[in-house]
A and B are shown apart, each in its own frame.
Chain A
Amino acid sequence: GTVTDGTNGLPLPGVNVLVKGTTTGTSTDFDGKYTLNVSNGNVLVFSYLGFVTQEVTYNGQNTINIGLVEDASQLDEIVLIGYGTTTVKDATGSVESVTEEDFTRGNIVTADNLISGRVAGVNVTTDGGAPGSGSTIRIRGGSSINASNNPLIIIDGLPITNDNVGGSRGILSSLNPNDIESFSVLKDASATAIYGSRASNGVIIISTKKGRKTFSADIDTQYTFGEIDERIDVLSADEFRDLVNSQPITGATLDTSLLGNANTDWQDEIFRETVSAIHNVTLRGELFKFLPTRFSFGVSRQEGALITSLNERRNLSLSLNPSFFDDHLKVNINANMAFEDNRFADRSQIGQALRYDPTQPVRDGNPFFAGFYQHTVPGNNSLIANGGTNPIFNLLQRNNQGDLNRLFGNINLDYKFHFLPELRAVLNLGYDHSESNTSTFARFATQDVVRGETSFFNQQRVNRSLDGYLNYANDSGDVFDYDVSAGYSYQVFTNDGGFTGNLQDPQTTGDTFADPDIVLIGFWGRLNLDFYDKYLLTLNYRRDGTSRFSEDNQWGNFGGAALAWRLSDEDFLKDSNTISELKLRASVGWNGQQEIGQTDIFLSRLRQGNENSIFQFGNMPVQTLLPSAINPDIKWEETRTIEFGIDYGLFDNRFTGSLNVFQKDSEDLLFAAPVPDGSNFTNNIIQNIGEFRIQGLEFSVNADVFREGEFNWNANFNATLLDRDITSLPFGADIPVGPNPSGTGGNIQLQRQGEAPSSFFVFKQLYDANGAPIEGAYVDLNGDNIINDQDRYIRENPNPNALFGFQSNMTYKNFDFSFNLRASVGGYVYNNVASGNAQYALLQDQSVLGNIPTSVFNTNFQQTSDVVLSDLYVEEASFLRMDNITLGYTFNFEKAIKSIRLWGGVQNAFIITDYSGLDPEVGESGFDSNIFPRTRNFLVGANFKF
């Protein structure tokens, strides 16, 4: 027979055809054809990922042709959970799977782009548009304050580290998104508890594409043309001349003779239009008639909008997936090589470009500075002190490159016992090795004319893991099924490297570094019970050990329980036309957290001072030894999550989705908190102290608005509401945190009991009768007639209260059209571009003039130091962004080329926001300080299938 896609009649290769209740089966070939020997009465099961499984009883037909219907509800979709799989139908926890067909389409440079805005409760943010840069991923807002909030990311069973290596743009940057088959996001604690100590921030399981028996080849190619259409509004050269001539500074006179005659828009000079490209070749097929194989090669070259910024990547991926002994032993071998080459552009030059005098030319022919203009002392080539340097010159003359070579992969052996096929033994060995080399060459150092820079840095991280488990599954009975697993997990991470220091500076020397090994060991077990297919129970337990704590504290016990009730299978709902699926879920789970930066803080250690931190006795250097801060009692941070959820399907599963409410309570926070002075070798150390609560609500709906005929429309909407509160702080004391807005030693944020983390801590601005802010005048909140620290108050925080994602995919005949929108509501940003620059006094510093943002006209402020802590710089940063729009057309052929899809699109098409700065999406910090601007990208691409 032939298996086709019911909607378009195209043959479906790789469909599993199985005789029900046996292990006999086959899969369809390239043309969708299959052959199978069967007997009368056998039931054939046709299953294919993303399509509704169909069953046909064999009654002597010669051929059975099947048109599979795309599975809108995807209730039977396989979902990866920790150490195993389940289906959407049987899942007891909040587990959401995003597979290839649901991936965001458009400009997909790094893996996280695939799921941005796609999953309720998952927030993927970047802090700007640096090419190929990684993202911050937060599931349900994290769970910690000072320890890690990163989810555990597992690639084909190998948990990877969240720590980047120097020279790379991020831990996911070296992955080829084209090699990814699915993401599975584990959100609730009963699902994540199987990863115990590492899963309090959720888990993302990434599965890469595997080999198939039938041959196929794909070529993808894409070009991206980017431009920045927004600029920070600073004065044009003419406006600048007018303003300087108007002498707007009280008490000081601007030296108008310093004005030049040029008209330079420094932002135009440092930013460029970009051309980027991604090419992928994928081959799948069976080698030597037994070895299903997938091989892919990908090349990506991304230009950054800031001149000289570049990200290049080459990926090789090989997946071998043979099975032996009648499929009793399945072997999956995945090997990936990534070569990432970056040239980093000094981002601080964006700030420099805002400030550099617009009346001066880019070049004035001065050979001492390679023809570039610089503020020099008249008559010689020394730079004017503290005057800043030409940003174009700085970008061009400094070459900072990072090359990363990464090899990662795993070998997975899955053996089904011959004498007891219900019992499986699974062994997974993983390896991840990143080695990077970074070099910096500069003719001049930024602030020092005499000395340039030549320096090298190398680093290598190695991550080895071993996981083994036994699984016994009994799903024969209709009344009572169970599935039990138990396993062991071992992982070790190492990190070391060295740097040379500046070889042109005789005073600096290099050094090597080596972190303590991080060793994580776990023993775990899971039991799934299923009564009548209606009542589901999952119990998890994990005992975890970490090398981050002392012998007395290094073991912790974690676990979870989840109950689910498939209401729609009860008699009273079985025949409902409205409700086709209804499942109630409840779960509770305990996770741990041990990921703190300092991995040997429990040990009594002495640290040698580096080459600049030694002492002198008798004018001779003496090596210093300082005892390091020590907390021998440090132990696990624990998070308890309680969740209630509903999974629903309406109108024959035309609408499906979930509604979850949850509460996460973290206690014994790994919190950097004060210690009594004199009692330790610091005044602040990571301790288990404080409590943190996150409450949230998630809603998702997946709608097949149209799913029959030539027009199909699938839409997905998800919403997340989050409330984050520090319920208890060490000693109830406020702890200043966050970036320094100006000068040294300041913090713009605060941790305060009863407030959200990292709340902005500012003065309340006073305004005159006309509503104009009065410089340096604030409300005396405590009424003591002095404006000092005690008059600062909390105004908002960077975390959005609500996140929304909307994705739409339409097809009409051979056309496809999709877009995705993402919104963030209720987050605030401190506008440091305005607070640190928009003051008249900055027009001249000594004998150099400098530009300022035009927002100075809104405030007429004179001095930065008077105003930098004003609450008027804390701005609402809610936004709605159109991330990607794509339109494609597919040509189908019956020849060697099966199909060609041509497509075009726009990334970052528009954003709607009230935020006055360049872009409200500045990353988790909520601190806008010269963001690397995001380009608007126009995309064209082609996909060839063979």
Chain B
Amino acid sequence: CTDDLNITPNDDDTLLTEDAFEDESAYRSLLAGVYANLALTGTEGAENSNLAGIDAGTSQFGRVLLYMQTLAADQMIWSYENDAGTRELQRNIWTPQNPLILGMFSRTMASVSFANNFLRETTAEKLDGRNVSDATRQDIVAYRAEARLLRAMAYYYMMDLFGKAPFITENDPLNFTPPEVSRAELFTFIESELLDIQSDLVAAGQNEYGRADRGVANMILAKIYLNAEVYIGENRYPDCITQCEALLSSGYALADSYLHNFMADNNTNSATSEIIFPIVSDGLTTQNFGPTTVMVNGSVGSLETNGLVVGVTQGGWGGALRVRREFAELFADGIFSQDERNTLIEGVNVPNGVTIVTTPPTPPTPRPVDIVDISNRDTGFILQKYSNVSSDGTPGIDQTFVDTDFPLFRLADVYLMYAEAYLRGGGGSESTALGLLNELRDRANNDEVVESSDLTLDFILDERSRELHWEAHRRQDLIRFNRYTGGNYNWAWKGNGSNGIAIPAHFNVYPIPSLSLASNPELNQNTGY
């Protein structure tokens, strides 16, 4: 009975690929799997990961993206530097051994893998072979475009963060060793893919919530054009304006309240008209240690224990996250005291009237703005931007895993990109730019009007930080403004000094993680590492 050696899975949750598609709903589930790679880390809950070399919870896409773009810049500090990789990352002294960088690289390339797999399983040939119904085939047209979109988005992040990528498409077989492609080649690929799939994608804002549509393609195009000088040394600001205009005329609208974008019900409240693409999170069905779970639990202060205010356990994570001085100073001017975007908490002096219910009721001392010792969680301001409470005051379903979706792309960013591209000579009009910026201020309950004379690139950079902080954009922005490496701008703990030290230019891209480099002989380490 040697045939007994040929086994098949017995578990009802595991299906042989060849059997799975007997049920046509598998295509939708498979697509959900491609999306889920941005929100989940595996199939067995938040503490399970299909990646190795990094803590499971930390390996979530949005989490590592937040670490790469925000923690490694001037807006955020992580208190627990015994969490592997955080110290080197937030002090800008990282090495190719850093597990968080590995997590970013591997998770993003996993998106490529899952998208490729979807495309391989939905070729006309395969669908013919399985006698797939016309209705499902119709859906699959958009599904395939979305898979290509998610793949292009993954390559966009590879291009931005690593300046290169191992390149593999559905035309390559599984376990194929992908060759390295340059930043310029990636740029071309991303651009052509996003343009190519436009017609197959659902119109902007028209897809089911959580799925990507033409608006997401426009958004990524706008971003690569805005950063084209960094990526390929070319001025593509007019193209950026074009994409922004397309988005501005797509029916999106700012949420009623700035904070709606960051609340437990941002999948149903007014933010749904603003959020162009969310990373979905749910305290019950889609549990993850992603950016919103981290930022809600992490922003609970060690002194304030304001967890109940933001819908998690009272102590949250004991003061895991705080802000650096330079970020706090962006709101120091009195004109921002009532600005909704200013959710800083400075200890006893709560500037914008956020009510903190704590027991004991008052922290003994106001928080100093400077963080001299990173492990001292009582120093530095905390920030109460994200919340696991709905706009109607109802807390989320779970006290750790938040319902709050992460707004990966939202309309306010388009407004700011438009203004910047205009300033950088991409065309458009000043009045539109000013109008957009003032719309943002107005929405934030800030009646200080931005005038033509205010409209400088430095202003844009600061305003982007005020509007988009903790949304995984900051490193990219600082690089585009040439403030990241070198000594043009030294923020607290940059380069491992509490007052900031210049860092070398090669830190503008991350190193190829040593394990990724080792396993793929086609890859070459980035210069300087």
Contact = CB atoms under 8 A, between A and B. Distances in A.
Interface of A: 251-252, 377-380, 382, 384-387, 447-448, 490, 492, 494, 496, 507, 511-519, 521, 545-547, 551, 554, 599-600, 603-619, 621-632, 672-684, 730-736, 740-747, 786, 788-790, 841, 845-847, 863-866, 868
B4 A386 contact: no
A624 B36 contact: yes
B70 to A, nearest CB: 18
Nearest to A845: B318
A518 to B, nearest CB: 8
B208 A617 contact: yes
A-B pairs with the 10 shortest C-beta distances? A385-B315, A745-B55, A733-B518, A743-B82, A684-B52, A618-B208, A677-B109, A674-B519, A865-B82, A746-B84
B58 to A, nearest CB: 5
Interface in B2-55: 2, 4-18, 20, 25-26, 28-30, 32-33, 35-37, 39-40, 42-46, 48, 50-55
A679 B175 contact: yes
B156 interface: no
Most chain A CB within a 10 A radius of its CB, from B106, B109, B284, B519: B519
A384 B7 contact: no
Interface stretch (B89-97, B219-227, B466-474): B89-97
A508 to B, nearest CB: 9
Nearest to A672: B52
A496 B14 CA distance: 14
Given A627-B114, A745-B54, A677 B5 contact: no
Contact of A617 (B117, B211, B305, B373): B211
Given A551-B6, A625-B32, A617 B210 contact: yes
Contacts of B285: 611-612, 614-616, 621
B405 to A, nearest CB: 9
B20 to A, nearest CB: 5
B366 interface: no
Given A546-B5, A677-B516, A679-B176, A384 B42 contact: no
A624 B4 contact: no
Interface in B106-139: 106, 109-110, 112-114, 116-117
A626 B40 CA distance: 11
A618 B54 contact: no
A513 B44 CA distance: 12
Given A604-B18, A681-B114, A624 B518 contact: no
Given A731-B519, A846-B305, A616 B114 contact: no
B6 A607 contact: no
Given A607-B14, A619-B268, A680-B175, 19 more contacts: A251-B376, A518-B7, A606-B14, A613-B48, A615-B32, A618-B209, A621-B285, A622-B29, A624-B33, A625-B33, A674-B52, A675-B519, A678-B167, A681-B110, A682-B51, A743-B81, A744-B84, A745-B85, A746-B84
B80 interface: yes
Given A623-B32, A625-B20, A613 B178 contact: no
A733 B517 CA distance: 9
B43 A609 contact: yes
Q: Which of A385, A515, A618, A845 has the most CB of B within 10 A?
A: A385
A447 to B, nearest CB: 8
A390 to B, nearest CB: 17
Given A606-B17, A673-B519, A790-B97, A515 B32 contact: no
B233 interface: no
Contact of B113 (A678, A740, A866): A678
B509 interface: no
Nearest to B98: A789
B515 A674 contact: yes
B192 interface: no
Interface in B412-454: none
Contacts of A616: 209-210, 267, 280, 282, 285-286
Interface in B369-403: 372-373, 375-376, 378, 397-399, 401
Given A554-B5, A744-B84, A747-B84, A514 B280 contact: no
A519 B6 CA distance: 9
Contacts of A545: 2, 5
B6 A547 contact: yes
B52 A683 contact: yes
Contact of A683 (B100, B210, B516): B516
B17 A786 contact: no
Q: How large is the interface on B (under 10, 10 to 19, 20 to 34, 35 or more residues)?
A: 35 or more
B292 to A, nearest CB: 14
A600 B48 CA distance: 19
Contact of B174 (A448, A612, A630, A674): A630
A420 to B, nearest CB: 29
B515 A679 contact: no
A814 to B, nearest CB: 57
B36 A615 contact: yes
Nearest to B99: A745
B315 A733 contact: no
B40 A676 contact: no
Given A614-B285, A865-B80, A605 B9 contact: yes
B9 A600 contact: yes
Contacts of A865: 80-82, 87, 375
A608 B6 contact: no
Contacts of A732: 518
A676 B102 CA distance: 12
Contacts of A678: 109-110, 112-113, 116, 165-168, 178
Nearest to A385: B315
User: Which residue among A377, A554, A611, A622 has the maximum number of chain B CB atoms within 10 Å of its CB?
Assistant: A622
A845 B378 CA distance: 11
B359 interface: yes
Contacts of A607: 13-15, 43
Contacts of A672: 52
Contacts of A378: 359-360
Contacts of B100: 745
Interface in B211-268: 211, 267-268
Contact of A547 (B7, B80, B83, B87): B7
B313 interface: yes
Contact of A599 (B7, B88, B378): B7
Contacts of B35: 615, 617
Contacts of B293: none
Interface string B147-176: 000000000000000000111100000111
A679 B174 contact: yes
Given A513-B11, A547-B6, A606 B20 contact: yes
B51 A683 contact: yes
Contacts of A841: 375
Contacts of A627: 17, 33, 114, 117
A790 B285 CA distance: 40
A65 B515 CA distance: 75
Most chain B CB inside 10 Å of its own CB: which residue of A628, A676, A788: A676
B289 to A, nearest CB: 9
Given A618-B209, A678-B113, A681-B50, A624 B177 contact: no
Interface in B333-378: 359-360, 372-373, 375-376, 378
A507 B268 CA distance: 21
28 contacts: A251-B372, A380-B359, A507-B283, A513-B13, A514-B11, A515-B11, A521-B2, A547-B6, A605-B9, A605-B17, A606-B14, A612-B284, A613-B42, A614-B285, A616-B285, A625-B30, A676-B178, A677-B106, A678-B165, A681-B110, A683-B106, A736-B99, A741-B82, A744-B83, A745-B58, A746-B82, A746-B83, A863-B375
A511 B43 CA distance: 13
B8 A516 contact: yes
B142 to A, nearest CB: 12
A610 B45 CA distance: 7
Contacts of B83: 743-746
B465 interface: no
